Structure 1
């Protein structure tokens, strides 16, 4: 069994010798930026004295449309953190792309932190918080109006504005998913970060580095699991890469 230091070194060596790295990221990469993952959001909702549903109830278009005040109160306690900044993990992936080693990122996140860190090729399976629409006239809005108004309403028709990923009832953007899958198919190394998705859902022959705060795997091959917060793990990998 590898020690934590050995795992960092092995991960660094895999990255150093790879030329077509692709990252697949989930909520765990952004927790050190102050954005809760689904477990954290679930705890927030369970502790809320006025809400009796779960995260999927919160993110339904029906709830957001018919109870907009309650939706936005909870949205701002959970997903919507417009002042969040990229952490070391986001910056490390952006730097890998700038050096030509990483060819792109497929992400399940809506926080836009990869782009803020400087990443150029990012396929967002659920879109991001910048995309919002009026439920009535379908006019589109950036997140500025969400930041400025307690209850965002369309200046044209007066109806409520809700995030696209909520309006779509969490349906993925199939063009983004297809592009992400095509990207993953060409990888010679996959970085799977902050998600409990099984490595068996990715190309079996492609080497993988799985980074999660806690162990989530029970077996398999052709992957290296490194446990720890993504920002800390990538900071250590970056330090190691500077020594070789």
Structure 2
């Protein structure tokens, strides 16, 4: 609890907060992280492979029915709702304390919670393209059809992040880095990315259940469930 009091103090003092989020920020919304997805795939009786085999664009194009069967079991959760983590970060922005968010997630939950400035390193589930004519589609057709096909040419529609073979968007990454460079406090949630990989002079609050809770120099590590932690912080700060 003493550590959370320090977190509250840092957030109160900060004026240019930036949030960096990974899969652990969305697991409480019912979206599995990569480790859970890998378990789902390895327990599947029909599919023999791991997450990166399944997300290969060649596999998706050659086996669209199998790809979408697995996609709906793993990544695609349009029914998911923002949890306390997303809502807390959105409130920080609304209060004028947060500059924006850089995220490794594709679930669009930050925007659904009301966040405006969001840089998505790997795109999001709403963006899909036809492999034939490159016509763009949102996720409505993917929600409604087992194997979505282009209304113009009849070819299969594939999620953008799969078509790019999981390549991140350099422009989004650059914008995220520029945003982080302006921060006077960085809140890192649900990612295995080491805090030392960010600019060293920026104070950091890291929320991750796999870390040991501790405070040292410009770093506070908070171990625990992000959804519960941000629910508590929301009650104390707003």
**TM-score bracket, shorter-length normalisation:** over 0.9
The answer on whether the counterparts of 2:107 and 2:125 sit within 8 Å (CA) in structure 1 is yes
Partner of 2:92: helix, strand, or coil?
Answer: helix
CA distance in 2, matches of 1:37, 1:71: 18
Structure 2 residue 148 is matched with structure 1 residue 121: no
CA shift for structure 1 position 221: 4.7
The answer on whether the counterparts of 1:213 and 1:228 sit within 8 Å (CA) in structure 2 is yes
1:170 paired residue among 166, 174, 184: 166
CA distance in 2, matches of 1:225, 1:12: 13
1:22-41 CA-partner distances (Å, limit 9, x unpaired): 00000000000000011111
Partner of 1:36: helix, strand, or coil?
Answer: coil
Aligned position for 1:90: 86
Q: Matches of residues 101-116 of structure 1 in structure 2 within 5 Å?
A: 101-116=97-112
Structure 2 residue 35 is matched with structure 1 residue 73: no
Structure 1 runs (4+) deviating above 6 angstroms are: 216-220
Aligned position for 1:22: 18
1:2-56 CA-partner distances (Å, limit 9, x unpaired): xxx1121111111111000000000000000000011111111111111111111
TM-score scaled to structure 1, two decimals?
Answer: 0.94
TM-score scaled to structure 2, two decimals?
Answer: 0.97
Aligned position for 2:235: 239
Q: Matches of residues 6-85 of structure 1 in structure 2 within 5 Å?
A: 6-85=2-81
1:182-231 CA-partner distances (Å, limit 9, x unpaired): 00000000000000100111000100000012217999752101111211
Pairwise CA RMSD? 1.5
Structure 2 stretches of 5 or more lacking a match?
none
Structure 2 residue 172 is matched with structure 1 residue 143: no
CA distance in 1, matches of 2:212, 2:174: 26
Partner of 1:175: helix, strand, or coil?
Answer: helix
Distance 1:81 1:135, change over 3 A: same
Partner of 1:237: helix, strand, or coil?
Answer: helix
1:147-194 CA-partner distances (Å, limit 9, x unpaired): 011110111111110000000001111111000000000000000000
CA distance in 1, matches of 2:141, 2:208: 34
Aligned position for 1:132: 128
Partner of 1:110: helix, strand, or coil?
Answer: coil
Structure 2 residue 217 is matched with structure 1 residue 200: no
Distance 1:216 1:57, change over 3 A: farther
CA distance in 2, matches of 1:176, 1:10: 32
Structure 1 stretches of 5 or more lacking a match?
none
Distance 1:214 1:169, change over 3 A: same
CA distance in 1, matches of 2:232, 2:6: 12
The answer on whether the counterparts of 2:213 and 2:222 sit within 8 Å (CA) in structure 1 is no
